[in-house]
Amino acid sequence: DVQIVATFKCFNLNPQKLESLLHTFFGSSCLNLDIFDNNKKRHTPREWFIAPFFVVENAIELIIAGKITNYKYDPENEVIIKK
């Protein structure tokens, strides 16, 4: 089950570019998971990332400020670091 813990309104952002930024930024922490449907067909979702909520909030702040490309996510230490 999934629980929504927050929603964010984004204005004046291209949705595809925003999604691409998030995938690039959190790509190293993508949840590695295979799901099999009723027909035993395998699905490998790439929309779920493992990151603490405060890191997600910080990433959103960096996106809004236009600075996210200067930073990267370190999943091992669960911190955002400057490149």
Record the pTM.
Answer: 0.78
How far does Cα 41 stand from its chain's mean position?
26
**What was the pLDDT predicted at 71?**
97
**C-alpha separations of 72 from 8, 19, 59, 69, 78 in Å:** 21, 15, 9, 8, 11
pLDDT digits (tens, 9 = 90+) for 7-27: 888 888 888 988 899 999 999
Question: Scanning the structure block, which residue is given the tokens 């955002």?
Answer: 80
Helices and strands of the chain, counted as H and E runs: 2, 4
**Residue 3 pLDDT level (bands cut at 50, 70, 90):** confident
